[in-house]
Amino acid sequence: MRRTYTGIMFPESTLEQLRPLRESVINLQSDCRPYSDQWRALDQVVRAVDECATFFTKDPTFFYRKAKPGNGC
């Protein structure tokens, strides 16, 4: 039996699409009391996205890197 595996072809550009979601969740966290149940639930989402990015890109600082300059401005 032959198995074929599929995966993310371009993980950095694919995971870059999750940046707005991550930032939205962080903004929601700012409306919650720090370390409350709601804050911790949202923190789990942020941590899951970070862990996913680390797994696929092998870069634990993926979402903390500075954006590459677009057109040199």
4-16 tens-digit pLDDT? 667 788 889 999 9
pLDDT at 40 over 80: yes
More confident residue, 37 or 1: 37
Report d(CA 18, CA 26) in Å as an integer.
Answer: 12
DSSP 19: H
Report d(CA 24, CA 18) in Å as an integer.
Answer: 10
Do 39 and 33 contact (CB within 8 A), yes or no?
A: yes
Residue 28 has a pLDDT of 97
Tell me the average pLDDT across 40-66.
92
Residue 2 has a pLDDT of 66
Residue 66 has a pLDDT of 66
For residue 53, give both structure tokens: 């990015």
